[in-house]
Amino acid sequence: MTGRLDPTDRRILRLAFPALGALAIEPLYVLVDTAIIGRVGTDELAGLALAAAILALVFAGSNFLTYGTTERVARRIGGGDPAGAANVGVQALWLAVFVGLPTAPLLAAAAPTVVGAFGGTGAVADHAVEYLQIRTIGIPFMLVTLAAQGVLRGVSDYRTPLVVLLCSNVGNVVVELVLVFGLGLGIAGAAWSTVAAQVAAAAAFVHLIRRRLARATVRRPDRAGLTPLLTAGQHLLLRVGAMLGVLSGSTAVAARVDAPTLAAHQVVMSMFMFVALTLDALAVPAQTLVAEDLGRGGRPAALLVARRAVRLSIVTGLGLGGALAVAAPWLPALFTPDAEVRSRATSALLILAASMVPAAVAFAHDGILIGAGDYRFLGLAAVGYLVATVPFGVLTLRVDGLGIAGLWLGLAWWMLLRAVVNHHRTRARLAD
């Protein structure tokens, strides 16, 4: 069967399979915490939902370290400039340190205020603040990991991130079970185990990319090297901020409905992050391959990669949507024994299942446009998508009984809109 695959499909899938593993493993930090803390209590699970939404802002807001680094490294590899690619990697690591070190203490100090802004009150807020303040310790290490992954993706090494992230998550599960249930540390134990896993992962990545950076001619922070990453980061930060305005805004709305709705939303959001990043396994190779082809001056080859990546993404989306629809009635029971939470989560999971194909197309085009360096468009378009989803949040708060269905219908509309607009942008960008 593999021999009959289109050569471009083989080129994408060769990177997509290890990317699938790495991307699916990444959200397991939150999935593991959700499954374990769901057995501790509903207030703890709701608190985790708030803290996870806030940390998602930090994580996604820092993803430019991966995306911008991948595109710039791949372009230089495609253009036959390995020393230039190594210089990009060194500057990305410096930028991770410069962003991560001040962010951690600032977020820890502001945790009570931020949790309150997300709608947290009472015991739910207390659990959210406790978890968040501990997790901030791992932020600088998380950013170093993001930059290192950008270096490895840029040189088409997707296997190393898979191995490192798999090992760190297995360690996280073992340590978390001991801390939460063995030592009775509750939500604090979940936070400390994740921090330990992030520190270990960052140390492993730094050690493993040293060989990739050996050809660097600039090893200190360099304004000329940092500026392009910061420029790309400015637009990608706008994109991510708008996207997380949608995702975190939905969590804030759920918090204002009631605790069972917020807990159910956390279960479904954890699954969304899992399947969405799994879909992104085809978008991430598109970043690398489109950037490489454009670095060689091969616009037709880049357009072919784009078309095949979208086609493969649609097939994957159909499979994931079907699996979610079948699993929706029993899947929430893995996360919580609360019948009210399970019922609400099931209805939202069915909406998520129906959204998988538009989500697949949207993610594929995001990867293609990042590979093409179209950062400005992605940032501005994301703001437009955010504005278009606001009415769903307003209706959910104003119309009794709409609840979690209103939230996830809004997210379905968001994914469909991104798919349509980004499709037209890709055609215009690569067909010039």
Kindly list the averaged pLDDT for each block of 10 residues, start to end, along the chain of length 432: 67 82 67 77 82 81 84 86 88 92 92 85 86 92 92 89 88 88 85 91 93 84 80 82 85 85 86 81 88 81 89 93 92 85 91 94 93 90 94 87 88 95 90 66
Category of 119 on φ-ψ map: left (φ > 0), alpha (ψ -120 to 50) or beta: left
* Residue among 286, 310, 203, 360 nearest 19 (CA): 286
Which tokens go with 377? 């468009």
Tokens 């207390």, located at residue: 126
* Residue among 106, 159, 396, 138 nearest 258 (CA): 396
The pLDDT value given to residue 24: 63
- Number of domains within the chain: 1
Residue-wise over 286-303: b if at least 16 C-beta within 10 A, else e? bbbbbbbbbbeeebebbb
Which tokens go with 62? 């820092």
Category of 261 on φ-ψ map: left (φ > 0), alpha (ψ -120 to 50) or beta: alpha
Task: Report the C-alpha gap between 376 and 57 in whole angstroms.
Answer: 20
The pLDDT value given to residue 245: 86
Q: Are 142 and 199 a contacting pair, CB within 8 Å? A: no
User: Phi and psi for 291 in degrees, rounded to 5?
Assistant: -65, -40
The pLDDT value given to residue 359: 94
Which residue range(s) make up the domain with 190?
A: 2-430
What are the residues whose beta carbons fall under 8 Å from the beta carbon of 327, sequence distance 6 or more?
Answer: 349
Q: Apex CA 422: angle with CA 420 and CA 424, to 5°?
A: 75
Run of H or E including 355 = none
DSSP state of 390: H
Which tokens go with 315? 């097939």
DSSP state of 5: S
The pLDDT value given to residue 4: 64
Q: Say which amino acid occupies 405.
A: A
Q: Are 424 and 377 a contacting pair, CB within 8 Å? A: no
Task: Report the C-alpha gap between 179 and 195 in whole angstroms.
Answer: 13
Task: Report the C-alpha gap between 110 and 268 in whole angstroms.
Answer: 27
347 to 45, 149, 156, 269, 297: CA distances (angstroms): 19, 36, 39, 13, 48
DSSP per residue, 318-334: HHHHHHHHHHTTTGGGG
pTM: 0.76
Label each residue of 257-299 as H, E or C. Answer: CCHHHHHHHHHHHHHHHHHHHHHHHHHHHHHHHHHHHHHCCCH
Handedness of CA 370, 373, 378, 379 (dihedral sign): positive
